[in-house]
Structure 1
Amino acid sequence: MSSFSEKMKKFKWKHYINYIVITALTVVFAIISAVGGLKSSSTILLEKIAISIVLAVSLSLVVGFLGELSLGHAGFMCIGAYLGGKVASLLVPVMGNGAVTMLIALIVGGGCAAVFGFLVGLPALRLKGDYLAIVTLAFGEIVKVIFQQSETFGGNLGLSTPNRPHKNTFFIVAFALVLFTLLIIQNLMRSKHGRAITAIRDNEIAARATGIDVTKYKLIAFMISAFFAGIAGVMFSYTNSSIQAVKFGYNYSIEILVMVVLGGMGSINGSILAATLITILNEKLRTVLTGDLAVLKDLLYALILIVIVIYNNAPALKGFREKYNFRNLAAKIWHPKDDPSIVKDDAASWDKVPTKIKMDEILSVDLKVGNEFTPDKPSKGDK
């Protein structure tokens, strides 16, 4: 029993707090839906929240962790929506509107978006900052125009897509894809590959000097990000009876970028929270401002976002977030007060910081470019 309690103390609950919260909320809403207490408008809102979370978390991989500014995320979503929706509409008469059809549509939509993510990632090898933003923005607009003018995909009228199966419980599938997205991206960022991606963001020249394959990791980040954007597009095609390319313009790409920025660059939990709040805000404004007031929706939405951005950078709110973020709350719940893994901002905590480095550790570092740090292996100069 004591060994089990020790394992529970060592278990890093803070890494899984988002899985636990999302799963618990999904179960609660599923129970409410089963007893008939969830309206159809509420289920649609939950589906939109799930799609927004997938988009925000996937874009955070490129913008937050890789440090590249991409304004074409809606373009990848458009590719997934059209190609996945087209495949689904062709398979429904043959295989029915079931799980197998949806799985094939998700694979096709996500895979095709990943291929275009590879193509867009190639300019990222030489372009940075504003120049890369212009290229990705142009890519998104080109994709939109191609589908808008293609008669195969319905042209300006849009593409008719199959209705989602089990309308009242389809949000469960959507949040299952959210968990899948978090599982892949969070585990990637906790691995050595994730550390290589963040090293490229912090200092690309130094990353190259240490032997990190910058080309490979940039392309991997763009492809994974585009893949999940394509999956979100397929989900979007299922939640709408028809899709029009005009919905995937640069305004939508900027809206996804706002979710990432408001949530915090490189913060997955922040992206989840920001995507949820912005989606709810957008939907509530659309339902409240009707008739003659509908023209004020975009204006009021923009003003609210400006206020949120200004308030988000307020020193008082920053201190509140640092004190009550997910990591600190989880540490307070699952760790004892004297746990050394909880860093306290006081004078006593600084006594635990190592101030000396052994000389043999310094001399054991092989400074040759491309070699990894191996403390037990003597450098060639020592022989």
Structure 2
Amino acid sequence: MSAVDSSKDMTSAASKLRRTAWYQQPRFTRLWAMVALGVLLALVTGEQGNTRDIFFSLKGSLTGGGLWICLAVTVGIWAVREFAAEPVKGLVGMAKSGVGGPMDAVRTRVQADPRLRWGLIVLALVLALWVPSLLSRTWQTVLVDQIAIFALLAIGLNVVIGWAGLLDLGFFAFFAVGAYSTAFWTGRLPVEPPVVLNNFWVIPIAVVTCLITGVLLGAPTLRLRGDYLAIVTLGFHEIIYLVAKNADGITGGPQGARLIPDFSIDFAGIDFKWSIKPLPYWYLLVFFIVLVIILFSRLEHSRVGRAWTAIREDEIAAAANGVDTVRFKLMAFAIGASTSGVAGVIFTSKYGYINPEVFPLLQSILILAYVIFGGMGSIPGVLAGAALLVWLPEALKDYVDPADRYMYLGALLVIMMIYRRRASGPLAVDSAS
């Protein structure tokens, strides 16, 4: 055998070694990944486990029709991705161009015509007041106890994150401050107040208390940035929680405060008392949400709002141009916390009872998720994000086990973070679309 033939044989053998098997090709690698995802989806949505049989969940989830449905969905997505990607992209592009043009025209028309803009705002307000009366008692309660309360909190956190660009992981602690302020000034804590007040008079006091608390938190910590500031706010939440739980002689400890009175009006011949019915509380919350939106919208376009925007975009450049960054960040923390005072008073008055377990750290994380999902810096977006993400677990309660509801919420957040167009502030990421 000649040297040339030997070289050819060696080259052929080497090429065979380098050749990728069919099941190792990227297309089929993605297929195995989607099959594994289908099995995982069947497991997490299948039968719940029990203590008598540790394999009960596996047997129930992997032997029923749910497994084949999950595999059909995931493999179907793979097939569309591999064999119909270009036609699908073309259809999506056509749909975007067909919808985007009219939507941009409508948006431009609304922005240019104040009468149309105010007409839409009035229409939205009328619907917000009228539609809840058509809902069942259960959904009215969800509107008040969760959607409206969290919307009010999200508007406040939007000031901190969306406008000033500060990452706060302990915002729900301000809500606890507002709630315990209500219990104190209505005489339901072990410490007697100087005077027992009506719940309406407690609202401005709770707002001021939350403002002062925001200043006390921000003054020694706002020179920190990024992750360090987030850790400090996280510790602030834990401090508030532990004080509420362990200061028995002040906060009532684990037992909390009971028999907190409802809102009531007795003035100029008007005698009305809020009861357990949710609608009166809904109207009260709508009033305060509209008031806060008006005040914060004016603030956003003021000198303070422009300073917050400068800090959010580039704090070093803002400081170099004469912006007192510490002062304005302190204002953002204090003003953002003010909405928690209102929410805390209304929530506590409706329930009539609070204890430290009402204020877990998870709630702070959820409020942060609502603000990011709706769009940091946008008040309508924050309201929509809070409403949608609070509504989702409630809508799933008849179909999904309570322990699994937040799994779907987490999946929705992951998808949104991957495909959202853009974001600004401390959590900004590049567009993935």
Q: What is the TM-score normalised by the length of structure 1?
A: 0.69
Tell me the amino acid that sits aligned with residue 183 of structure 2.
G
Q: Secondary structure at the match of 1:211?
A: coil
Q: In the alignment, is the contact (CA less than 8 A) between 1:117 and 1:222 conserved in 2?
A: yes
Tell me the amino acid that sits aligned with residue 20 of structure 1.
V
Residue of structure 2 aligned with 1:311, choices 407, 415, 418: 415
Q: Which residue of 2 aligns with 1:337?
A: none
Q: Which residue of 2 aligns with 1:59?
A: 157
Q: Which residue of 2 aligns with 1:224?
A: 335
**What's the RMSD between the two structures over aligned residues?**
2.8
User: Structure 1 residue 248: deviation in Å?
Assistant: 1.1
- 1:122-201 equivalences under 5 Å are 122-151=219-248, 152-160=250-258, 161-164=260-263, 165-166=274-275, 167=277, 168-201=279-312
Q: Secondary structure at the match of 2:376?
A: coil
User: Structure 1 residue 81: deviation in Å?
Assistant: 0.6
- Give the direction of change, closer, same or farther, for the CA distance of 1:19–1:101 in structure 2 (3 Å limit): farther
1:80-130 deviation digits (Å, cap 9, x = unpaired) = 011123313569xxxxx9xx8222111122211110100111244310111
Q: In the alignment, is the contact (CA less than 8 A) between 1:79 and 1:230 conserved in 2?
A: yes
Q: Which residue of 2 aligns with 1:28?
A: 130
Q: In the alignment, is the contact (CA less than 8 A) between 2:392 and 2:409 conserved in 1?
A: no
Within the alignment, does 1:46 sit opposite 2:143 as a pair? yes
Q: In the alignment, is the contact (CA less than 8 A) between 2:251 and 2:257 conserved in 1?
A: yes
Gaps of at least 5 residues in structure 1 are 1-7, 92-96, 320-383
Q: In the alignment, is the contact (CA less than 8 A) between 1:71 and 1:134 conserved in 2?
A: yes
Q: In the alignment, is the contact (CA less than 8 A) between 1:58 and 1:226 conserved in 2?
A: yes
Q: Aligned partners of 2:326 and 2:416: how far apart in 1? A: 35
- Give the direction of change, closer, same or farther, for the CA distance of 1:243–1:74 in structure 2 (3 Å limit): same
Q: Which residue of 1 aligns with 2:374?
A: 263
Which structure is larger by alpha-carbon Rg, 1 or 2?
A: 2
Name the % identity: 32
Q: In the alignment, is the contact (CA less than 8 A) between 1:19 and 1:179 conserved in 2?
A: no
Within the alignment, does 1:282 sit opposite 2:393 as a pair? yes
- Give the direction of change, closer, same or farther, for the CA distance of 1:245–1:43 in structure 2 (3 Å limit): same
Q: In the alignment, is the contact (CA less than 8 A) between 2:222 and 2:229 conserved in 1?
A: no
Q: Aligned partners of 2:411 and 2:122: how far apart in 1? A: 31
Q: Aligned partners of 2:169 and 2:386: how far apart in 1? A: 17
- Give the direction of change, closer, same or farther, for the CA distance of 1:206–1:150 in structure 2 (3 Å limit): same
Q: Which residue of 1 aligns with 2:45?
A: none
Q: Which residue of 2 aligns with 1:211?
A: 322
Q: In the alignment, is the contact (CA less than 8 A) between 2:256 and 2:353 conserved in 1?
A: yes
- Give the direction of change, closer, same or farther, for the CA distance of 1:90–1:145 in structure 2 (3 Å limit): closer
Q: Aligned partners of 1:284 and 1:114: how far apart in 2? A: 35
- 1:354-373 equivalences under 5 Å are none
Tell me the amino acid that sits aligned with residue 308 of structure 1.
L
Q: Aligned partners of 2:120 and 2:181: how far apart in 1? A: 31
- Give the direction of change, closer, same or farther, for the CA distance of 1:123–1:201 in structure 2 (3 Å limit): farther
Q: Aligned partners of 1:262 and 1:175: how far apart in 2? A: 22
Q: Aligned partners of 1:312 and 1:57: how far apart in 2? A: 20
1:164-220 deviation digits (Å, cap 9, x = unpaired) = 514342210011111112112111111121011110111112112222222221111
Q: Aligned partners of 2:229 and 2:338: how far apart in 1? A: 19
Q: How many residues align?
A: 292
Tell me the amino acid that sits aligned with residue 46 of structure 1.
L
Q: Aligned partners of 2:161 and 2:168: how far apart in 1? A: 7
User: Structure 1 residue 284: deviation in Å?
Assistant: 3.6
Q: Secondary structure at the match of 2:251?
A: coil
Q: Aligned partners of 1:155 and 1:181: how far apart in 2? A: 32
1:283-336 deviation digits (Å, cap 9, x = unpaired) = 344x537xxx8xx424331x2123212332465x749xxxxxxxxxxxxxxxxx
Q: Aligned partners of 1:244 and 1:18: how far apart in 2? A: 41
Tell me the amino acid that sits aligned with residue 285 of structure 2.
A
Q: Which residue of 2 aligns with 1:71?
A: 169
1:42-68 deviation digits (Å, cap 9, x = unpaired) = 322121211111111110111111111
Q: Aligned partners of 1:254 and 1:211: how far apart in 2? A: 34
Q: Aligned partners of 2:119 and 2:215: how far apart in 1? A: 32
Tell me the amino acid that sits aligned with residue 141 of structure 2.
I
User: Structure 1 residue 17: deviation in Å?
Assistant: 7.8
Q: In the alignment, is the contact (CA less than 8 A) between 1:60 and 1:268 conserved in 2?
A: yes
Q: Secondary structure at the match of 1:120?
A: helix
Tell me the amino acid that sits aligned with residue 242 of structure 1.
Y
Q: Aligned partners of 1:45 and 1:90: how far apart in 2? A: 26
Q: What is the TM-score normalised by the length of structure 2?
A: 0.62
1:260-295 deviation digits (Å, cap 9, x = unpaired) = 11111212111100111122123344x537xxx8xx
Q: In the alignment, is the contact (CA less than 8 A) between 1:158 and 1:244 conserved in 2?
A: yes
Q: In the alignment, is the contact (CA less than 8 A) between 1:64 and 1:265 conserved in 2?
A: yes
Tell me the amino acid that sits aligned with residue 282 of structure 2.
F
Q: In the alignment, is the contact (CA less than 8 A) between 1:58 and 1:225 conserved in 2?
A: yes
Q: Aligned partners of 1:69 and 1:162: how far apart in 2? A: 35
Residue of structure 1 aligned with 2:198, choices 101, 111, 117: 101
Within the alignment, does 1:80 sit opposite 2:184 as a pair? no
User: Structure 1 residue 21: deviation in Å?
Assistant: 5.2
Q: In the alignment, is the contact (CA less than 8 A) between 1:18 and 1:269 conserved in 2?
A: no
Q: Aligned partners of 2:123 and 2:187: how far apart in 1? A: 34
Q: Secondary structure at the match of 2:198?
A: helix
